[in-house]
Chains A and B, each alone.
Chain A
Amino acid sequence: MPTEDVYNRIPMLRAERGVSRKDLAAALGVHYQTIGYLERGEYSPSLFLALRIAEYFEVPLEVVFSLKPFPRLGSEVK
């Protein structure tokens, strides 16, 4: 049975755009600790919340979330 781990790039997107956890939480209407739990992989969002996160960052869903670990930056440049 496959694990239910969902990987995400929320911290990277936040850092890139200079958005704090509290700002993102306020924009999404969730508790700021929920963003922290999402980033730590301790909570997997509903499809609705995942879509809203992708919409907030204006990127496709698969840019933010993946069922497999995201490759390290620069790992494909060899």
Chain B
Amino acid sequence: MSTLRESWDRRRIEALHTDLLPGWYATRRRRRLLASAGLVSIALMWVNGALFWAPKGDVGPTIVYFTLLAISLVLYFPAVTLLNVATRGLTELAERHLDERQLGERLRAVALAHRAMTGLIVVLAVTVLALNVANDRHFSMPGSALFQLTIALALTNFVLPLIVSAWRLPDPPPDEEENGPIGEGQRIEGKTAT
């Protein structure tokens, strides 16, 4: 059993350390574009929840829902896959596979995402409360809308640490192979000894 788990872990680590379309996340700007694509896909899930909430007939046919869902999934899967590779599995791998810098970065990302999630839940609670008051305490939500919004909330909670960590990630140091072998006139940059 443990061999199967180790084998699975090893494959995941290898996959997350294999550069897949590196040009897509090589720079901070591109990583932030990918993170934005992930955010848009999540936002579309929320829009879908709101569409289910709205009275029938006001939002057009069901095709709107499926179109939004399709766009959301088309954005979500590539963006999340590439963000996981860009962050080298920072939020994906088990703690024992991360070093102290990665663990610290993961903690910061999770803390920031937690703060954002708290804000989101407060906004949601205030919205429901305001609607309840506006409707003279006869407010009810369709089950389908509740289901959609719960999925959107769960997905946001799941993927937000990854988006935050990718957003914060500085450009990694260039590989030594790009600068020539060590000890052969390699340029050494940074706040180091001279």
Contacts and interface: CB of A to CB of B under 8 A. Distances in A.
Interface string A31-71: 10111110111110110110000000000000000000110
Given A12-B193, A36-B172, A40-B191, A18 B100 contact: no
A5 B190 CA distance: 12
Contacts of B100: 30, 34, 45-46, 48-49
B173 interface: yes
Q: B interface, how many residues as a size bin?
A: 20 to 34
Interface residues of A, number: 36
Nearest to B194: A72
Nearest to B99: A30
Contacts of B18: none
Interface of B: 88, 98-102, 170, 172-174, 176, 181-183, 186, 188-194
Interface of A: 5, 7-12, 14-16, 18-22, 29-31, 33-37, 39-43, 45-46, 48-49, 69-70, 72-73
